[in-house]
Amino acid sequence: MAHDVAATGPGRLGLLALDSDGALVGHAVALTLSSGRAEVAVEVSDQLHGEGLGTILIARLAELAEMLGIGTLIAQVLPDNRAMLEVFKDGFDASVRWSEGVDMVEFPTSAWRLARARYPG
């Protein structure tokens, strides 16, 4: 997989994941909310769910965010997306709380090291 920065500019980071043919198979973005915090979102093509690509994208995005001085990432996860919640909880030891119909996820950007150790690749 090739990863390229996709959405750069003030307050935003983005990554694309491409397969060996150059087709887009996943992407992740982080948008700065306030000093030291950013919201992250990730999407992976259906045929690659459960293969670790989401974890890789989030870990790389957290690493880049940490280098830019962002210390905390947050995400909103819909209640029926249990697989994504498991990615955040297992791979990044994220805290999760329920708020206004969604699970609010929060974890330090330094958690990318934990994710890489647990899921090398």
In tens, the pLDDT along 45-58 reads 989 988 888 889 99
- Which residues partner with 98 through β-bridges? 103
Determine how β-strand 72-77 pairs with β-strand 37-44. parallel
Domain boundaries, given as residue ranges, for the chain: 2-118
What confidence tens digit (pLDDT) does each residue in 53-84 have? 888 999 999 999 999 899 999 999 998 999 88
Q: What are the angstrom distances between the C-alpha of 106 and each of 10, 39, 58, 76, 81?
A: 22, 9, 12, 9, 16
Give residue 2's pLDDT: 37
**Confidence (pTM):** 0.85
Query: Which class in CATH covers the domain with range 2-118?
Result: alpha beta
Angstrom distance (rounded) from CA 56 to CA 108: 16
HSE at residue 74, side-chain half, CA atoms within 13 A, is 15
